[in-house]
Amino acid sequence: MSTTTTELLKGAAELFPDEVVTQAHVRHLDLPAGAGRFALITLDNGFDHTKPTTFGPGSLANLNAAIDQVEKEAAEGTIVGVGITGKPFIFAVGADLKGVEILKRHEDALAIGKGGHDVFKRLAGLAVPTFAYYNGAAMGGGVEVGLHCAYRTVSKALPAFSLPEVFLGLVPGWGGCTLLPNLIGADRAVSVIIENSLNQNKQLKGKQVFELGIADALFEGADFLEQSLVWTASVLNGTVKVERPEIDRGEGWDAAVARGLAIADSKVHGAAPAAYRALEIVAAAKDGDLQKGFDAEDKALADLIMGGELRSGIYAFNLVQKRGKRPAGAPDKNLARPVTKVGVVGAGLMASQLALLFLRRLEVPVVLTDIDQERVDKGVSYVHGEIDKLLLKGRVNQDKANRLKALVTGVLDKAEGFADADFIIEAVFEEIGVKQQVFAEVEAVAPAHAILATNTSSLSVTEMASKLKHPERVVGFHFFNPVAILPLLEIVRGEQTDDASLATAFGVAKKLKKTAVLVKDAPAFVVNRILTRFMGEIQNVIDEGTPVPVAEKAVEPLGLPMSPLVLLELVGPAIGLHVSETLNRAFPDRFTVSPNLKAVVEAGKRGFYVYDSGKPELDPEVAALLTQGDSVLTEEQVRARVLDAVAQEIGLMLDEGVVAEAQDVDLCLITGAGWPFHLGGITPYLDREGVSERVNGKRFLEQGLASVPA
């Protein structure tokens, strides 16, 4: 068996010459308490913790060779046990995604799954007991290699433990789907494999890994490996008996799978296959037939690796992890000026939220101004209240709370507040004349170097700056609601914005821990423009005669976080209307103003649905307001029209240079609108479904980027 595994991995390694290869060092030691000679395998890629250990085919081959060695020693009786652990701070973080991205053929994808299984399961077949010591970050295949061992310990200091495969578009396919439910029961396994994964890839800490029953013992980080080995000696000596609770292999198992399906439906609405494939395997694992489960994992892995959702998932993951941290087109960060005091014009809710964010992340003085003392006081007291909440939750201690509260002040007189501010952001009424007036007042009192930032969502930054003496220091700084949660920050470069101001804006964005994307000064920038076009097209078909439920259901297969009309409700129909009017003025040929939406807004309705039955139903009062035509489309026709419109709009935006590349559009939609990973934002999906080709005559992304390489 070993030979074929070796050949399999050799073939796979040839496809992936750039692999960062993990070594599997075998070292022998004498266990405490005279428990005998022990072989400890250390997984280590030779880099420090900033480059976590991963498994590619070369790495698996190294582990396989290490197992060859200990297998022989175990058979000869020269060792009493085998352990596996990681380099400092890292156990192993799973398969090397780069090695997955390059795969072109189903058989190669199958080889990766089988290769991992073949190596890992040998651990369970050794003639001596096996132990995994989760010393640090463990994800995916890292978690799984430990699941193949007989016993596990985990460090209290372990910061991150997960099976993130479903989040990316895969299944835990090196034993995870099969072994985990058989170890801790289906319900807990569903929490790890499905629930955490689909909950923004939530990570477990060491203590939780122990409490879930994944690890048999929990030790503090300071002497984790020593205590794990002492414990190992006790297990081997028989002085410690490992007892695990009986798992429910009856109705509880089925109920867990059903719960998993409900979670998957609520998160991806059937639009991405990974969670469902994982649940099929978890369901089948009920009979405890491991090999059957491993075979099913191989098959699922290969199918998913060759599918578009995984490729989109990896693409999206890389966008957020890499492009999101090194924004395309941002100027040299050395040009950035220090920001030691922030001014906020306006003390309303948005302004107060911004003040809180700047305060927490920059920890510099933040001064709010408004037109009367009452509003100023209200803004400051809002911030103080939020700090108190953080204090109650233990997110900040009393000293930090005191510090933050002392840093936020409010004044009526801009000259007093902004004379030494380096960065001043306005969040006043969305009206160009008002904003120009505010900036003129600020410019009169602020230092010459101060950045003037605007949180406008639809007005022209260039026009806002046009009447200033120094328009080069104006930048757009467009946050998304809720400001504390959505990562996206669209940084808008006006026509006269200079590099130093822009670099300062990017520097501030990084400190705010936001995903900054550089955007040209174009109507509604990126997210709002695409969403408005998308919603506009839905509204158009409704106005033309398609029933509301048909229009809504038409886009369900995309698996968006919420339906279009629910989103409009969240944004507020009046704001939606306002943005559509703005875009209608800019692009009257493509953006319409829906008379029905206008009617809804004029009637003072805040939404389209009532929730009396527990499910959203069209509000009869809204239904009565609607005037529809007689052109009734099918769901498919609606979907095609909507996607065509989105593809056209993105194509035009790229032609206009609103952002550097299609990747930026996707990054914006993922981080600003919560559009799902399995769509890769949207352009990978439009490419995959042939929409881009149909509308624009070309793909947005080259083949192989967010898709199977040619």
Partner 1 sequence: MPRTVRDVVFVDGVRTPFGKAGPKGIYHETRADDLIVKAIRELLRRNPALDPAKIDEVAVAATTQIGDQGLTIGRTAGILAGLPQSVPGYSIDRMCAGALTAVTTTAGSIAFGAYDAVIAGGVEHMGRHPMGEGVDPNPRFVSEKLVDESALFMGMTAENLHDRYPSITKQRADEYAVRSQEKAAKAYANGKIQQDLVPISVRRTNEEAGETGWGLATQDEPMRPGTTLENLSGLKTPFRTHGRVTAGNAAGLNDGATASIIASEDFARENGLPVKMRLVSYSFAGVEPEVMGYGPIPATEKALAQAGLSISDIGLFEINEAFAVQVLAFLEHYGIADDDARVNQYGGAIAFGHPLASSGVRLMTQLARQFEEQPEVRYGLTTMCVGFGMGATVIWENPHHKDAGGDK
Residue 48 binds partner 1, judged by CB under 8 A? no
Residue 30 binds partner 1, judged by CB under 8 A? yes
Q: How far is the CB of 86 from partner 1 (least distance, A)?
A: 9
The residue (of 222 and 262) whose beta carbon lies closer to partner 1 is 222
Taking CB under 8 A as the criterion, the residue among 41, 137, 154, 427 binding partner 1 is 41
| Beta strands, E only, 495-568 | 515-520
Among 41, 151, 26, 39, smallest CA distance to 92 is for 41
* Count of positions on this chain that bind partner 1 (CB under 8 A): 24
Residue entry with tokens 């053929």: 105
The enclosing H or E element of 91 equals: strand 90-92
Tokens in use for 707? 């898709």
Interacting span for partner 1 (CB under 8 A) from 1-9, 226-234, 628-636, 696-704: 226-234
Q: Point out which residues pair with 217 in neighbouring strands.
A: 153
The residue (of 83 and 181) whose beta carbon lies closer to partner 1 is 83
Residue 660 binds partner 1, judged by CB under 8 A? no
How open is the CA angle 494-495-500, to the nearest 5 degrees? 70
The Cα-based distances of 589 to 352, 395, 583 in angstroms read: 38, 50, 10
Q: How far is the CB of 64 from partner 1 (least distance, A)?
A: 16
Interacting span for partner 1 (CB under 8 A) from 39-47, 147-155, 488-496, 667-675: 39-47
Q: Point out which residues pair with 479 in neighbouring strands.
A: 489
* Distance separating alpha carbons of residues 419 and 62, to the nearest angstrom: 63
* Tally: H helices and E strands in the chain: 32, 19
Amino acid at residue number 296: A
The enclosing H or E element of 37 equals: strand 36-44
Taking CB under 8 A as the criterion, the residue among 229, 261, 474, 555 binding partner 1 is 229
The answer to whether the CB of 601 falls within 8 A of the CB of 626 is no
Taking CB under 8 A as the criterion, the residue among 14, 220, 388, 621 binding partner 1 is 220
Tokens in use for 497? 């914005």
Residue 126 binds partner 1, judged by CB under 8 A? no
Residue 123 binds partner 1, judged by CB under 8 A? no
* Distance separating alpha carbons of residues 275 and 703, to the nearest angstrom: 25
Residue 21 binds partner 1, judged by CB under 8 A? no
Tokens in use for 676? 């799902």
Taking CB under 8 A as the criterion, the residue among 6, 11, 32, 607 binding partner 1 is 32
Interacting span for partner 1 (CB under 8 A) from 56-64, 80-88, 382-390, 435-443: 80-88
The residue (of 28 and 606) whose beta carbon lies closer to partner 1 is 28
Amino acid at residue number 392: L
Handedness of CA 544, 549, 555, 560 (dihedral sign): positive
Residue 29 binds partner 1, judged by CB under 8 A? yes
Taking CB under 8 A as the criterion, the residue among 15, 37, 44, 487 binding partner 1 is 44
Residue 223 binds partner 1, judged by CB under 8 A? yes
Q: How far is the CB of 34 from partner 1 (least distance, A)?
A: 9
Residue 88 binds partner 1, judged by CB under 8 A? yes
Interacting span for partner 1 (CB under 8 A) from 9-17, 42-50, 205-213, 530-538: 42-50
Site string for partner 1, 667-696 (x = CB under 8 A): ------------------------------
Among 198, 131, 127, smallest CA distance to 162 is for 198
Chain residues binding partner 1 by CB under 8 A are 23, 25-32, 40-42, 44, 46, 85, 87-88, 220, 222-223, 225-226, 229-230
